[in-house]
Structure 1
């Protein structure tokens, strides 16, 4: 049976900055990074992201915004990762678990 993988995509945004996104195997956007100055620093950001979301010191919480949308927040030391918005707390919790699951096994595609 084939391993179920998501994918990271790296795109050039705003003309000269790079950003990575993590997608689940069904195409759902799980996480979008901040912008990076170079392609190399963006790739390094993916490696840091992988390490941090899997670290046993990492804390995950669910937050609700003023529009009653839920987001997961993954924190490890000074690194904070805020997920996409979801209509339910359960959807945000499931997305946070998907990020942890797909972070290590997803291929990287540079667009």
Structure 2
């Protein structure tokens, strides 16, 4: 029996189950399905292209000015890139929202 893990919402004490799936001991009949599945692909060096241009999927460059919010800019830029890459939507994430809320969470 697997160990049960829960995520608890502290505002209303609701519990959400995170695991508990029992692994099957029976192998699939097809050899092709016996591989390990992942959320990403693992490729050899010779299977990769020699060069990749990510510029079409990038959002416009932002200026952090004198604030020193490079971590917030990095996080927002990565989030914008992943959003645009996954659904083609060009969104502008607030760097100041991330910056100020990180300072509040970190007690700075």
TM-score by length of 1: 0.24
* Bigger Rg, which one: 2
Greater share of helix: 2
